[in-house]
Structures are given as C-alpha cells and as structure tokens.
Structure 1
Amino acid sequence: MATIDLHTHTTASDGTNTPAENVRLAREKGLKAIAITDHDTIGGIEEALAAGRECGVEVVPGIEISTLRHGQDVHVLGYFIDYQQEGLHHELHKLRDVRAKRNEMMVARLNELGIEITMEEVRAKQTEPEGNIGRPHIAEVLMDKGIVDSMEEAFEKYLGREGKAYVNPPRISPEDAVRLILRYGGIPVLAHPGLYDDDPLIEELVALGLKGIEVYHPDHTDREIEKYSRIAAELQLIATGGSDFHGERNGQVFHSDLGSQPVPAEALEKLKQLKHMRDNRAKKEL
C-alpha cells in the first residue's frame, strides 16, 4: 500500500482538483505525504501547504518542467524547490508563454484536420483563472464534442507524440531544466524515463546534477520498473515515483488515481536528506 505520492497535478496546471482537494484526498487514502508537481508553475504550492498543515499530510513543494529534446517532450521534476524566489517566478513565466503558444498551434492543427474547436472552448475547461492550460484541457473538449471517447484516445489519435495534431515549438532543454531547478535550491529528478526511449539522457543529466529518476510510474511496465531501479542503483540516484494524478475528466482518471502507484517511503526521506545537505552547504558558503 502506498504511503506517499510524489507526482500529482492540480488546477494550477492541468489537473481537475484544487491543491487543497489533492491534499484532502491524500488524507482520505491514508497517505502520509504528497508532492505538488504542476507543469511549469508553483501556483498551487501555498494552498497545498496550508491544507497539509490542517490535514496532517506532509506536502512537498515541487514542479514538473516541460522541455524538448530531439523533437519530443521530456519532463524534469524539481522537489523542495525554493518556490518563493522572484527569479524563479520570472523563469516560469517564460515557460508558460511557450506552453500557451503550443496550445494555440495544436488547436490550429485540429482545425486544419476539419475538427471545429476554439481556444475559447479550451479555456472554458480551465477552472483556475491563473492556472496553466495543457493538452488534457484540449482532450476534454474533444471528448465533449464526441470526437474521441477517452483521454487515451485523444492523446493516441491527436495530442500525443504520434498524434495528428502534435506540435512542439522550441523550448528549454532537459539540461537547462536541471540547471534551473538546482539554481533555485531544488532536487532535479527525471520524470517517467520509460516514455522517452532515450536512456543515454540519464547519464548526461547526472553529469549536470540530476539526483533521481522516476522509477515507479503508471506508464512504466514491470520490466521498465526493474530496469530503472537497476539504473538508479548503478548511478547512485534516488528512485522516486508517483501516480501522475491529474484528477477526473468525464468520469475517467488520468493517468492513475492518487496514491495508486506504490512508491518506497524511503524515496522521500532521501530527497529530504539531500535537500538538508544542500541547504547546509549553501549556508556555509555565505
């Protein structure tokens, strides 16, 4: 039974639950800790921390940064990031501008395919005015219109890497994401490496300061979990994981339910130890 979940999304990006709702759900499911890792934003962290104090659930401030390598999405998680630093807010604003451009390009591509969809309809799916819009919002509109029957079908046919409407404008590299997370006191972890078919990337990022890889993820097969556990041990990386919970859309949970992915509790303890060591080192250098 899972006691921690280190990968969840909220209405601050493309999740359907508010940060507080994620925390309360974690308590209901008996979780001791939950990380808030919204796409390119730290907008949900304060609310989640407040809810965590009220519910008795430990909340890990985090982020999931979207990057591009060899034409495909690569996501880098940052745990215990110093989310209150003004410089970080500025950097993330630039990332969200690229995300907004991508949404518009995807909607335009869908129009070219003869699918009538507007950005206004996509924005209407955004429950948090300051939240990020992402592909799940577009998928939800496609489901409403009967173009697809599920989130999985929306990504497979249109929005995923092999989809007809997939586009990816220039954005920062995974290397830049690792540097950014380190610059603002976070612990960088490569998200769901099994989705990239690019294992050499792991060692390249380790040389820059990567500290973990997401071994336990609902999109990983048992064989991939075994493989990335081995790689984590060989490279002395923290083996993290989580549900990648995005809430429920049209009665369907995407990727998997909160707390459904078993993750060793020691993963969080190792992240906290590493953060403590880095903070102490930074104080000595002042």
Structure 2
Amino acid sequence: MSLADLHAHTTASDGLFSPRDLVKHAHAKGLQAVAITDHDTVDGVEEARQEGEKWGIEVVPGVELSTLWHGKEIHVLGYYIETNHSHLLEKLQAQRDTRKLRNQMMIEKLNELGIPIQMDDVLKKKRSHSSKLNVGRPHIAEVLVEMGVVSSINEAFDKYLGKDGLAYVTPQRISPFEAIDLIKKSGGVAVLAHPGLYKQDDLIPQLVSHGLVGLEVNHPDHTDEDKKRYQEWVKKYHLIATAGSDFHGERQGSMYHAELGTCTVALSQLEALKKAVLR
C-alpha cells in the first residue's frame, strides 16, 4: 500500500533533519508522500519539494500553527497552503516572534528554579545558520540534558518543559479559530493536531463549525482509546482522518514523539484533503 506521513519537522523549526534529508529519509522508509509541517514557518517546504521530485516523493506543503484557547496550547495543521502567500508569511513572522518570547520566558523560569541555562547555549542547537529559523522546546531540552539537569529529552519535558512542567509558560497567541481562518485564506485546509493531548474534545464541534476539515487520529502519543474515540468523531462530523509521526529526530538518545513512518495514512486521504481545498 502507498503510504503518507502527514506530520514531520525539519531544521526549519525544531527537527534534526534538513528538508532535503527528511525527504531522503521518507524514501528510505518506503513512504510515497510526506508533509512538511514545521512550527510557524514554511521555510523548509521548497527545498523538500525539490528533493521530492528527485525521489518520486510527494511533498505536501504544510505548517503547524501554535494557538491558545482558554490558557491551553492547541496546534492546528495546515495542508496544501500557498507557501508564498503574503498574508500567511506576515502572520507566521508574528507567530515566530511569540515563540521567541516563550523561549525567553522559559529560560527565565528555569533560572528562577536555580538552573543556570542561557539563551546563547540554546541558540547554538539550531541546525541551520539562518536567523529566520525557529528555536523551540526540544533545543532547550537538549541543553538541559547536556547540563546534567535531566537524563533524557523525555524527562526534560515531563519535569520542566511539558504542559505540566515546572518551567512551562505560554504567552498570548492567536486562537485556533484564527488559525483556521489563516489556513483557509492561504488556500489550505485545517486539521487539528494530536487532539488527545488537549483533553478538550468539546472544542472540536466548534472548530468544525468554523471550517476544520480533519482530525489527526493516529499520532504516537495517542492511546488506542484515543484513536477509537477520534475515529468516531471523524464519522460523526464527516471529517478526514489523518496520521503522522510528528517526527523531529533523535536527541540525546531519545526519539521525540516517533520515527518517521510510524503513523501513516493511505494516499487516498491526500486526495480527500485536496478535494477539501476545492470546496
């Protein structure tokens, strides 16, 4: 069966593989398509698309938008967006500015906890020299492991950087409704990323009414119960079920989320997404 992984990150945000190398990795994993869904940036899409042509891999232009709803961080995936859309690029820059603020706030919180981590050390973990590219929590986690504060990336998130962590903070962001509007305006379709992580299923019908077309049913952090529940939501609201590994790569011996190709869909789901664009 021809398969696609619809959630992957590159060095354009907080992944470890360059866009080019991620496509090569997708080919090695036997995938026929991969979505580039970096956090609040589309800078890696064109390089990936060019590499995809060499390997016969369909590269889905995407983005993962960080939003806030009632104090909880919600991520919305956009697929088949116009990556040169001026309004989109403007809003993504604002998103990245907010991300920088969040990083600084977390560093300050860690300092208050007696951990002498510095932003300069975190910035050195970027896998690209471009000043445009994102730094995120995985980069902070790497430094915490190197400092010996924690023994693994997973422990860094569990103890400090995850939503229940001691240093977790989130500044004001756009709402998930605004994210859907932005994705639609830039020619794409919106899918709710890993809904099982939010414990806020009551938000889903509201997002569907606003134009959400799909749910990421199969994600490495979803339980079997989560997958079953969201498959039922898909049927109830006539949505598109997607899947993705949320691939970032392996840091300090820990795979953040899962290996590329762990969670996949048939290529027919891509056709469903393309048809949704045309509605």
TM-score, structure 2 normalization? 0.97
3-state DSSP class of the match of 1:63? strand
Q: Runs of 4 or more off by more than 3 Å in structure 1? A: none
What secondary structure does 1:88 align onto? helix
2:120, 2:88 → 1: CA distance? 29
Shift of 1:265: 3.2
Equivalent residue, structure 1, for 2:33: 33
| Inter-partner Cα distance in structure 2 for 1:159 and 1:251 | 18
| SS of aligned partner of 1:215 | strand
Aligned residues: 277
SS in 1 for 2:78: strand
Partner of 1:230: 232
1: CA distance, partners of 2:252 / 2:137: 15
Give the SS at the match of 1:207. helix
What secondary structure does 2:91 align onto? helix
Number of the residue aligned with 2:260: 258
Q: Alignment partner of 1:6: what SS?
A: strand
Question: Which of 173, 191, 194 pairs up with 1:192?
Answer: 194
Distance of 1:173 and 1:105 partners within structure 2: 20
Q: Secondary structure at the match of 2:7?
A: coil
Once the two structures are superposed, residues 122-143 of structure 1 have per-residue CA deviations (whole angstroms, 9 ceiling, x without a partner) of 0000112231011000000001
Q: Structure 2: which amino acid aligns with 1:26?
A: A
Match of 1:247 among 234, 249, 252: 249
Aligned AA for 1:107?
Answer: I
Distance (whole Å) between structure 1 residues aligned to residue 158 and residue 133 of structure 2: 25
Percent sequence identity over aligned pairs: 53
Q: How far did residue 263 of structure 1 move?
A: 2.5
Q: Distance in 1 between matches of 2:19 and 2:250?
A: 14
1:18 aligns with 2:6: no
Cross-structure match for 1:160: 162
1:25 maps to a residue whose letter is H
After superposition, the C-alpha distances for 1:24-57 in whole angstroms (9 at most, x for unaligned) are 0000111000000000000000100000001110
What secondary structure sits across from 1:64 in the alignment? Answer: strand
- Structure 2 Cα separation of the partners of residues 181 and 77 of structure 1: 9
Contact 2:62 2:77 in 1 (8 A): yes
Partner of 1:283: none
* Aligned partner of 2:145 among 143, 146, 152: 143
- 1:282 is matched with none
Name the amino acid aligned to 1:126: K
Question: CA–CA distance in 2 between the matches of 1:87 and 1:117?
Answer: 36
Provide the C-alpha distance between the structure 2 equivalents of 1:163 and 1:220, rounded to a whole number of angstroms: 20
Contact map agreement 2:152 2:253 (CA 8 A) in 1 = no
Whether 1:215 aligns to 2:179 is no
Give per-residue Cα distances to partners, 1:98-124, cap 9 Å, x unaligned.
000000000000000000100000000
Residues 85-96 of structure 1 mapped to structure 2, 5 A cutoff = 85-96=85-96
- Structure 2 counterparts to residues 68-217 of structure 1, below 5 A: 68-128=68-128, 129=130, 130-217=132-219
Give the deviation of 1:260 after TM superposition: 1.1
SS at structure 2 position matched to 1:231: helix
Amino acid at match of 2:57: V
CA displacement at 1:273 relative to structure 2: 2.1
- Once the two structures are TM-superposed, the CA of residue 71 in structure 1 deviates from its matched residue by 1.3
Asked if 2 retains the 8 angstrom alpha-carbon contact of 1:2 and 1:260, the reply is no
**C-alpha displacement at 1:202, in angstroms?**
0.7
Q: How many angstroms apart in 2 are the aligned matches of 1:120 and 1:75?
A: 27
Whether contact under 8 Å (2:12, 2:44) holds in the other structure is yes
Unaligned 5+ runs, structure 1: 279-286
Cα distance, 1:266 vs structure 2: 2.5
* Equivalent residue letter for 1:227: R
Letter in 1 for 2:109: R
Query: Residue 183 of structure 1 aligns to which amino acid in structure 2?
Result: K
RMSD: 1.1
Instruction: Tell me the distance in 2 between the aligned counterparts of 1:10 and 1:88.
Output: 19
Q: Please state how far the C-alpha of 1:2 moved relative to its aligned partner.
A: 7.5
Kindly state the Cα deviation for residue 94 of structure 1 after the two structures are TM-superposed.
0.5
Residue 253 of structure 1 deviates from its aligned partner by 1.5
